[in-house]
Amino acid sequence: MRRLVALMLLVGASAQSAVAAPPLEVQPVRIADLKAVFATVEPVDRTLARSRIAGTVAELLVDEGSRVAEGQPLARVSDPKLDREKAAIEAQIRALEAQRRLAATELERARELRSRQAIPQARLDEAESAFQVVEGNLAAKRAELALLEERIAEGRVLAPRAGRILSVRVTAGTFVLPGEPVAELAVERYLLRARLPERHARFVRPGDRVRIGPRGLGPGEPVGEGRIVMVYPELEGGRVVVDIEADGLGDYFVGERARIEIEAGAREVFLLPPDYVGNRYGVDFVRLEDGREVVVQRGLTRDGRIEILAGLRAGDRLLPPETGR
């Protein structure tokens, strides 16, 4: 009996607490009209790594998706003719070095003989001239070798910027010409590019905030924010193109889609605390102060409050749905 009395008192206290809950008078508020659209991850810049000499691709050092630093070798182009020219010039340099040693010996002997008046001055002048000619020829060949080695070094295809390899356009053994693309890179800085219906063009401005949805196009709350940095002045297929800058896009795939919410004007809605919105058999409803239940259409959740799209009028006074249970 005592348990029954205690239970009745508890129920009565709960009912009194519920009845005592203050009614909530609803008024429309003006909020930004968020439109859900899809954007794609795009690099700020794309660039091509090109071959600087004609030859055969002897070695590929990267694959699609590889991250590279500026100046990093991506491939090596080899021209057998250059290697043969280098071998020929090196042989000529060795011959000239031998001639230089001989001319230096002849010059030293001529100077010694001239000091003893054993040969005329003309003979010494001839030895000095011969040595200088050999020295000049040797310097010219060394410069020619350095130039050839620079041309061979140009066979290395280097990354023009730091970034990620999007595509490799050649395979090992492919013959390439000077200026022919070997790989395409996405510069290591990404943005979101969205194409909005033409009717939204007058609402978007650089600097507007954008909410970015969860990766993988799945349901859930936004995972980050970005801002519009560029609104292109030309429409594409009846759509306005905007670029959105956001953090954390470095590990996204180029071309990956992301759901975003972008401001496109403003509208009036009712915003309610979650405690004032009930759900029964999958139907959302609110309870008026006079006890009537009204079916409402739920929208997005904004800052912990539920957006009500239809079913309420300005001035309606609400009680929590538990009041009538």
Residues 62 and 26 in one domain: no
Of the pLDDT bands very low, low, confident and very high (cuts 50, 70, 90), residue 315 is: confident
Q: What is the mean pLDDT of the chain?
A: 84
Is 112's pLDDT higher than 70?
yes
* Distance (Å) of CA 9 to CA 1, 12, 88, 219, 323: 12, 5, 109, 44, 17
Residues 283 and 306 in one domain: yes
First to last CA, the chain: 25
Is 323's pLDDT higher than 50?
no
Helix (H) or strand (E) holding 141: helix 121-153
Residue 9 within any structural domain of the chain:
no
In this predicted model, which residue has the larger pLDDT, 218 or 133? Answer: 133
Give the model's pLDDT for residue 175: 93
pLDDT digits (tens, 9 = 90+) for 178-187: 999 999 998 8
Give the model's pLDDT for residue 51: 93
Residues 169 and 73 in one domain: yes
Nearest Cα residue to 301 out of 277, 265, 325: 277
Of the pLDDT bands very low, low, confident and very high (cuts 50, 70, 90), residue 219 is: low
Give the model's pLDDT for residue 262: 82
Residue 12 within any structural domain of the chain:
no
Residue with tokens 């609803």: 26
Number of domains in the chain: 4
Residues 142 and 241 in one domain: no
Report the distance separating Cα 325 and Cα 252, nearest Å.
Answer: 50
Widest distance between CA atoms in the chain = 147
Choose the weakest-confidence range: 36-45, 119-128, 249-258.
249-258
pTM higher than 0.85: no
Q: Which residues contact 114 (CB under 8 A, 6 or more apart)?
A: 121, 123, 124
Q: What is the DSSP string of 269-294?
A: EEEE-GGG-EEETTEEEEEETTS-EE
Residue 1 within any structural domain of the chain:
no
Residues 144 and 108 in one domain: yes
Query: Which pair of tokens denotes residue 78?
Result: 């080899």
82: left (phi over 0), alpha (psi -120 to 50) or beta: alpha
Residues 298 and 273 in one domain: yes
Residues 92 and 160 in one domain: no
Q: Contact at 8 Å (CB) between 266 and 202?
A: no
Residues 65 and 180 in one domain: yes
**Cα 295 to chain center, whole Å?**
46
Of the pLDDT bands very low, low, confident and very high (cuts 50, 70, 90), residue 28 is: confident
Residues of the domain holding 92? 80-152
Helix axes 80-115 and 121-153, enclosed angle (nearest 10): 160
CATH of the domain at 142: 1.10.287
Cα three-residue angle 142-152-94, rounded to 5 degrees: 30
Residues 276 and 306 in one domain: yes
pLDDT digits (tens, 9 = 90+) for 256-293: 888 888 877 777 888 898 888 989 888 999 989 888 88
Residues 52 and 163 in one domain: yes
Q: Contact at 8 Å (CB) between 225 and 210?
A: yes
Q: Is residue 172 classed as helix, strand or coil in its secondary structure?
A: coil
Can you give the length of the chain in residues?
325
Q: Contact at 8 Å (CB) between 249 and 41?
A: yes
Residue 8 within any structural domain of the chain:
no
Residues 84 and 100 in one domain: yes
pLDDT digits (tens, 9 = 90+) for 65-87: 888 999 999 999 999 888 899 99
